[in-house]
Amino acid sequence: MAVEIRVPTLGESIVDAVIVKWLKQPGEQVSRSEPVVELETDKVNVEVPAEQAGVIESHSRNEGDTVAVGELLGVIAAGEATAAAAPAPAAAESDATPAAQAVVEPTTEPVVSGANVAGSDARRTNPAARKLAEERAVDLAGVSGSGVGGRVVPNDVLRYTPAASAAPLAPAPPAAAPQAPATAAASIGPSPSPSPSPNGTGRDAREERVRMSRRRQTIAARLVEAQQTAAMLTTFNEVDMTAVMETRKQRRDAFKERHGVNLGFMSFFTKASVGALKAFPRVNAEIDGNEFVLKHYYDIGIAVGADEGLVVPVVRDADRKSFAEIEGEIIELATKARESRLAISELQGGTFTITNGGIFGSMLSTPILNTPQSGILGMHKIEERPVVVNKEIVIRPMMYLALSYDHRIVDGREAVQFLVRIKELLEDPMSLLLEG
């Protein structure tokens, strides 16, 4: 009995996807639950598994096509592939191990197969790393994985440099053809610049066209939408990080020994944000038509820079979590983001967002709202600067803070007081145990 391969439900508000890669070709054998096609959505990559064992009978859509939820992708026929029906595989493919149990959400990674990896060296990798390796013609068999469980992640591909001895010797250049003498007409005036080919791939082309991924297109659309639909404004303040840094220094070793995670800055800022959101609830709200939706829970989005662009996984109920729980969850979500393993559910929702440009060296910025949220906090680089304390000039580790907010729902007075409240909580970390 034949079974149809259809685009699964992809999550709230996601109605279509792009076919990134067919993992199984017509005539190839497939096991039940083995991934057969990889889809790229606005937020994550999704592998669609086979609902039964059999043979891929046909593909209804091609790689690069946009497909809607429920649309037919292909057909799996019952039975086994025959030598006549199945395409002749490469030697490296014949020993490839089929992928382990997979689900619609990208919680498992496919086993790399194909000409790049021999069966005995097959390893787990994520879709982004595999795609990058294909684009750069990198042999994954020689790439060491630094991800969880030794999986290959995009940074491993970017860092990979083949041994010089493995590089084939370049053929000797052909002898230069004798140059014809310049004519009188050609010798007058400067020589014209060679024209690049229309598709930008000519020898003298200085431009390159790179297709925007589905995720990058969505990021671009959402950023423009945020600026066009919200009355966005940014207010600034600065915080003395002395107390937070001293607390971390005193508690760091004991915290790591007890909880198994480092005591970072993000847990302090998350707790301070929760305390300020409780004091100014409209920063934790959103607009729905002619109503404010006030949210009495605190799902804090943490912006993470990934290869495919910025993603914002969410720490749920941050007000109910300890410092250790927040730190552990942020580390887990950030690791998943960089390895393209985030589930759609981990990106949905969120009532307030924190973004840290300071880890890249940013001194000051105006973050853009993560709509429909009404506020986003921007952290920046800690710099030692001279400040006046008790009428004396002292050197303190200072950080600029930025709060972008939707002026339609949050007044300027509230925004300023919200940021002042975060400053007060951070400069007195013990208060976070009560207020945060």
Which position has the higher pLDDT, 143 or 181?
143
* Residue 24 belongs to a domain: yes
Q: What are phi and psi of 415, to 5 degrees?
A: -65, -45
Same domain, 116 and 248: no
Average pLDDT over residues 209-237: 87
Q: Are residues 420 and 371 in the same domain?
A: yes
Could you read off the pLDDT of 71-111 as tens digits, one per residue?
Answer: 999 999 887 766 544 444 443 343 433 333 333 343 333 33
Let me know whether 259 and 399 are in one domain: yes
User: Is the pLDDT score of 155 beyond 70?
Assistant: no
Number of Cβ atoms within 10 Å of the Cβ of 154: 23
Q: Which residues pair with 111 in a beta bridge?
A: 124
Specify if 188 maps to a domain: no
Q: What CATH number does residue 309 fall under?
A: 3.30.559.10
156 and 242 share one domain: no
Q: Is the pLDDT of residue 120 over 50?
A: no
Total Cβ atoms within 10 A of residue 302 = 24
- Cα dihedral sign for 16, 22, 26, 28? negative
Task: Give the H/E segment covering residue 228.
Answer: helix 214-229
Say if residues 157 and 166 touch (Cβ distance below 8 Å). no
Q: Which two tokens stand for residue 3?
A: 């079974």
Query: Considering only CA atoms, which of 122, 4, 108, 124 is closest in space to residue 46?
Result: 108
The whole-number pLDDT of residue 1 equals: 77
Residue with tokens 């809607």: 68
Q: Say which CATH number the domain at 142 has.
A: 4.10.320.10
Residue 162: its pLDDT value, please? 65
Q: How confident is the model at residue 204 (pLDDT cuts 50, 70, 90)?
A: low
Domain that holds residue 81: 1-88
Closest CA to 236 of 405, 402, 375, 356: 402
pLDDT at 146: 67
Residues 320 and 400 in one domain: yes
Altogether, the residues listed in the chain come to a count of 436
Higher local confidence (pLDDT), 113 or 87: 87
Last residue of a domain, one of 141, 161, 181: 161
Residue 352 and residue 273 in contact, taking contact as beta carbons nearer than 8 Å: yes
Per-residue confidence (pLDDT) for residue 245, from 0 to 100 = 96
Q: Please, are residues 268 and 422 in contact by the beta-carbon 8 Å criterion?
A: no
Q: Indicate if the pLDDT at residue 226 is higher than 70.
A: yes
Q: Are 23 and 39 within one domain?
A: yes
What percentage of the chain carries pLDDT values higher than 90?
A: 44
Domain termination site, one of 88, 118, 135: 88
Least confident of 50-59, 139-148, 351-360: 139-148
Token pair belonging to 416: 């300023």
Asked if the structure places residue 41 within a domain, the reply is: yes
Q: What is the pLDDT of residue 109?
A: 38
Considering the domain architecture, whether residues 327 and 430 belong to the same structural domain is answered as yes
Report the DSSP pairing between strands 375-379 and 300-302: unpaired
Give the count of domains, the chain. Answer: 3
Under 8 Å CB-to-CB from 299, ≥6 apart: which residues?
314, 315, 316, 317, 318, 349, 350, 351, 352
Residues near 46 by Cβ (< 8 Å), separated by ≥ 6? 8, 10, 17, 38, 39, 40, 104, 105, 106, 344
- CA 365 to the chain's CA centroid: 21
Q: What is the pLDDT of residues 308-327, one digit of tens each?
A: 778 899 999 999 999 999 99
Clarify whether residues 243 and 356 are in a common domain. yes
Q: Which residue has the higher pLDDT, 355 or 18?
A: 355
More confident residue, 97 or 304: 304
Pairing of strands 352-356, 375-379: parallel
Q: Is residue 222 part of a domain?
A: no
Q: Within 231-366, where are the H helices?
A: 242-259, 266-279, 323-338
Do residues 314 and 382 share a domain? Answer: yes
Assess whether 78 and 21 both reside in one domain.
Answer: yes
Give the Cα separation of 64 and 50 in Å (integer).
Answer: 20
Q: Write down the residue that tokens 């619609």 correspond to.
A: 104
In this structure, the number of other CB atoms found within 10 A of the CB of residue 355 comes to: 24
- Whether 194 is covered by a domain: the verdict is no
Mean pLDDT check: name the lowest of 9-13, 86-90, 220-224, 243-247. Answer: 86-90
Q: Are residues 47 and 156 in the same domain?
A: no
Q: Does 56 map to a domain?
A: yes
- CATH code where residue 82 lies: 2.40.50.100
Q: Residue 159: which pLDDT band, with cuts at 50, 70 and 90?
A: confident
Q: What is the DSSP secondary structure assignment for residue 175, as one 8-state letter?
A: P
N-term to C-term CA, the chain = 58
Active site residues: 407, 411
Q: Are residues 283 and 349 in the same domain?
A: yes
